[in-house]
Amino acid sequence: MARKTVSNPLQQQATLEDLWRMQAQVGLMFAEAQAVIALRTLGAMGLWAVRPSENTRMVSEKPTAFMKSAQAAMTAAAGGKRPDQIVTAAVAPIRRRTSSNARRLAQQGPQIGLR
Protein backbone atom coordinates (compact mmCIF):
# COMPACT_ATOMS: atom_id res chain seq x y z
CA MET A 1 0.00 0.00 0.00
CA ALA A 2 1.42 3.40 -0.99
CA ARG A 3 2.03 5.93 1.74
CA LYS A 4 -0.15 9.01 1.50
CA THR A 5 1.78 12.27 1.48
CA VAL A 6 0.42 15.23 3.38
CA SER A 7 0.49 18.49 1.44
CA ASN A 8 -1.07 20.66 4.14
CA PRO A 9 1.64 21.78 6.63
CA LEU A 10 -0.99 22.06 9.37
CA GLN A 11 -1.54 18.33 9.13
CA GLN A 12 2.17 17.56 9.39
CA GLN A 13 3.61 16.82 12.78
CA ALA A 14 6.86 18.20 14.07
CA THR A 15 9.57 15.62 14.54
CA LEU A 16 11.49 15.29 17.77
CA GLU A 17 14.42 16.94 16.01
CA ASP A 18 12.22 19.92 15.06
CA LEU A 19 11.14 20.35 18.67
CA TRP A 20 14.71 20.07 19.96
CA ARG A 21 15.85 22.67 17.43
CA MET A 22 13.09 25.06 18.50
CA GLN A 23 13.85 24.47 22.19
CA ALA A 24 17.54 25.10 21.61
CA GLN A 25 16.86 28.44 19.91
CA VAL A 26 14.54 29.56 22.72
CA GLY A 27 17.00 28.39 25.37
CA LEU A 28 19.93 30.17 23.73
CA MET A 29 17.88 33.36 23.46
CA PHE A 30 17.06 33.20 27.19
CA ALA A 31 20.68 32.49 28.16
CA GLU A 32 22.00 35.31 25.98
CA ALA A 33 19.39 37.72 27.33
CA GLN A 34 20.42 36.89 30.90
CA ALA A 35 24.09 37.43 30.03
CA VAL A 36 23.25 40.81 28.48
CA ILE A 37 21.25 41.82 31.57
CA ALA A 38 24.12 40.78 33.84
CA LEU A 39 26.77 42.63 31.82
CA ARG A 40 24.66 45.77 31.54
CA THR A 41 24.00 45.67 35.28
CA LEU A 42 27.73 45.34 35.94
CA GLY A 43 28.24 48.25 33.56
CA ALA A 44 25.73 50.38 35.47
CA MET A 45 27.64 49.56 38.67
CA GLY A 46 30.90 50.61 37.05
CA LEU A 47 32.38 47.11 37.12
CA TRP A 48 32.18 46.38 33.38
CA ALA A 49 33.26 48.62 30.53
CA VAL A 50 30.22 49.71 28.54
CA ARG A 51 29.73 52.53 26.09
CA PRO A 52 27.89 55.65 27.31
CA SER A 53 25.16 54.95 24.74
CA GLU A 54 24.37 51.52 26.24
CA ASN A 55 21.36 52.71 28.27
CA THR A 56 19.77 54.34 25.23
CA ARG A 57 20.53 51.31 23.11
CA MET A 58 19.03 49.01 25.73
CA VAL A 59 15.68 50.78 25.45
CA SER A 60 15.60 51.69 21.77
CA GLU A 61 16.41 48.24 20.35
CA LYS A 62 13.49 46.43 21.94
CA PRO A 63 10.53 47.82 19.94
CA THR A 64 12.25 47.02 16.64
CA ALA A 65 13.21 43.50 17.71
CA PHE A 66 9.71 42.75 19.03
CA MET A 67 8.08 44.17 15.91
CA LYS A 68 10.28 41.99 13.69
CA SER A 69 9.50 39.00 15.91
CA ALA A 70 5.74 39.56 15.67
CA GLN A 71 5.97 40.09 11.92
CA ALA A 72 7.95 36.88 11.46
CA ALA A 73 5.47 34.92 13.59
CA MET A 74 2.47 36.31 11.72
CA THR A 75 4.07 35.60 8.35
CA ALA A 76 4.85 32.04 9.38
CA ALA A 77 1.32 31.52 10.76
CA ALA A 78 -0.29 33.01 7.66
CA GLY A 79 1.87 30.71 5.56
CA GLY A 80 0.44 27.67 7.32
CA LYS A 81 3.58 26.75 9.26
CA ARG A 82 3.52 24.37 12.19
CA PRO A 83 3.55 25.82 15.74
CA ASP A 84 7.21 24.95 16.24
CA GLN A 85 8.10 26.74 13.01
CA ILE A 86 6.11 29.80 14.11
CA VAL A 87 7.97 29.91 17.43
CA THR A 88 11.32 29.50 15.70
CA ALA A 89 10.46 32.32 13.28
CA ALA A 90 9.41 34.57 16.18
CA VAL A 91 12.56 33.87 18.18
CA ALA A 92 15.01 34.46 15.29
CA PRO A 93 14.92 38.30 15.25
CA ILE A 94 15.21 38.50 19.03
CA ARG A 95 17.96 35.90 19.06
CA ARG A 96 19.96 37.91 16.50
CA ARG A 97 19.81 40.90 18.86
CA THR A 98 20.61 38.97 22.07
CA SER A 99 23.47 37.14 20.39
CA SER A 100 25.09 40.30 19.03
CA ASN A 101 24.60 42.15 22.33
CA ALA A 102 26.10 39.33 24.39
CA ARG A 103 29.09 39.06 22.06
CA ARG A 104 29.67 42.84 21.99
CA LEU A 105 29.33 43.33 25.74
CA ALA A 106 31.50 40.31 26.60
CA GLN A 107 34.34 41.73 24.49
CA GLN A 108 34.37 45.02 26.36
CA GLY A 109 35.72 43.47 29.56
CA PRO A 110 35.87 44.24 33.26
CA GLN A 111 36.62 47.68 34.59
CA ILE A 112 37.90 46.75 38.05
CA GLY A 113 40.74 48.93 39.28
CA LEU A 114 40.69 51.26 36.25
CA ARG A 115 39.33 54.27 38.09
Question: Confidence class of residue 111 from pLDDT cuts 50, 70 and 90?
Answer: confident
Residue 94: enclosing H or E segment and its boundaries? Answer: helix 83-108
Spell out the domain ranges in the chain.
17-108
Distance CA 86, CA 39 (A): 30
In whole angstroms, give the CA distance from residue 34 to residue 111: 20
The letter for the amino acid at 18 is: D
Given a cut of 70, is residue 84 above it in pLDDT?
Answer: yes
Q: What is the mean pLDDT of residues 11-19?
A: 90
pLDDT at position 64 over 80 = yes
Task: Please tell me the predicted confidence (pLDDT) of residue 7.
Answer: 61
Q: Is the pLDDT of residue 5 over 60?
A: no
56-77: average pLDDT = 96
